[in-house]
A and B are shown apart, each in its own frame.
Chain A
Amino acid sequence: MDATEAEYSWLFREEFPGVVRTAYLVLHDQAAAEDVAQEAFTQLLLNWSKIARYERPSAWVRRVAIRLAVRVARRDRLRSTLLGWLEPPRADRHADLDLAAAIRSLPPRQRAVVALYYYEDKPLTEVASLLGCSHSTAKVHLFKARQRLAALLGADHRQGDSVA
């Protein structure tokens, strides 16, 4: 194993589970999330000579993964819409089914904002940077997502974080 592969393998072991989890919160499908994360890491190794010089290669791979996840989620959503049927509710063994279903009903970009803001605890400026949009666009996505989640979960979206 050469030095590049050793460094890459180390970074992969450190970051891969976290990247998969974030992608999962956008895609709600573990196999698809692993595929997206694997593709992002593949891109990383293919561009290793350049990316390894970055201060945080892990941030680069996360950005690639989240954008891929949004793209895949959009494609899946469009396919569902075109076929005219909704995904049947999955037997999600993990968490609150209401919340999982509510998040799945959000548009992919809003799902990504929710995952980055609530799960990864990223400030909105970083969320915007990861998604490649402006701060105000990210803020609008978050506002709409909260509004929708509150409506679906029967909560008050005005209570909670003060988003700047």
Chain B
Amino acid sequence: MSLDRRVRDELDALASSIQPDVEANLQASLRRVSSRSRRRGAAMVLAFAAVVVTVVVIGPGMFQAFRSNPIQPGGVASPAIERLSGRYTATVASDDAEILRQAMNGEWTIEFGDDGILGVSAPADFTGTRTGYSFEITGDQLRTDLFSADVCSGLIPGVYGWELADGVLTLTVLEDACAGRTALLTAEWRSTTGSE
């Protein structure tokens, strides 16, 4: 029997032995949706209230200034920065047009410093600027001006949600008009701090 035939037959046998309780799962799924809808509703109310406060109290001018404010590295590292600080690597292998245009495929290393400096080590073919970038952390959000020198020139810093679990850093784009930065940062970053 060929390998393919054997794999097909045995996967069929393996899978067909799995008989989930559909009704119990359906009810659990509906409960999950209901719970998340409530949370989402509450979050939207809070977000709306925050927007109203921002617009009314702080004013549109201040809001714009905040959005385009350059990131200022330095100062005392927050616990969040201390947790994130370290070196991470990711391998980018993508057909994404922006990645190909910027020759960004290959192995990347980024280093978040305690001082808010973001160091970058790029694949040899990447011709963009690799130094002079910074980042800041606010709660579960990370804001960075990575590639502001060329790839993201003229664009405001990007804002990402960040999560570090089991040595894997996951960055989720929240607001970023720069496709190249987004394509890179949303790769899977594995911590290499202490593994060298």
Q: Check A119/B15 contact, CB under 8 A, given A38-B32, A42-B33, A99-B10.
A: yes
Q: Check A159/B30 contact, CB under 8 A, given A75-B166, A95-B14.
A: no
Contact-residue size bin, chain B (C-beta under 8 Å from the other chain): 35 or more
- Residues facing A in B1-51 (CB within 8 A) are 2-8, 10-20, 22, 25-26, 28-30, 32-33, 36-37, 40
Mask: chain A, 141-163; 1 = CB below 8 Å from B; 0 = not: 00000100110010111011100
A50 within 8 A of B: no
Query: Are A96's CB and B25's CB within 8 A?
Result: no
Interface of chain A, main secondary structure? helix
Query: Are B20's CB and A34's CB within 8 A?
Result: yes
Chain A's closest residue to B13 (CB) is A95
Query: Are B20's CB and A16's CB within 8 A?
Result: yes
Query: Are A94's CB and B6's CB within 8 A?
Result: no
Query: Are B4's CB and A95's CB within 8 A?
Result: no
User: Contact check: which of B3, B18, B28, B95 meets A155 at CB < 8 Å?
Assistant: B3
Q: Check A118/B4 contact, CB under 8 A, given A38-B28, A94-B14.
A: yes
A125 within 8 A of B: no
Q: Check A20/B20 contact, CB under 8 A, given A94-B14, A95-B10, A146-B3.
A: yes
- Residues facing B in A110-125 (CB within 8 A) are 114-115, 118-119
B174 within 8 A of A: no
**CA–CA, A79 to B33, complex, Å?**
29
Query: Are B17's CB and A94's CB within 8 A?
Result: yes
**How many CB-defined contacts (below 8 Å) exist between A and B?**
117
B56 within 8 A of A: no
Q: Please give the residue numbers on chain A whose beta carbons come within 8 Å of chain B beta carbons, in ascending order.
A: 5, 9, 12-13, 16-17, 20-22, 24-25, 30, 33-34, 37-39, 41-42, 45-46, 74-75, 78-79, 82, 92-96, 99-100, 103, 114-115, 118-119, 134, 137, 146, 149-150, 153, 155-157, 159-161
Given contacts A24-B14, A39-B32, A115-B11, 8 further A-B pairs with CB under 8 A are A16-B20, A34-B25, A46-B33, A46-B36, A74-B188, A96-B10, A149-B3, A159-B2
**A and B contact pairs by CB, cutoff 8 A, 6 listed:** A16-B25, A75-B168, A93-B17, A99-B11, A153-B6, A155-B2
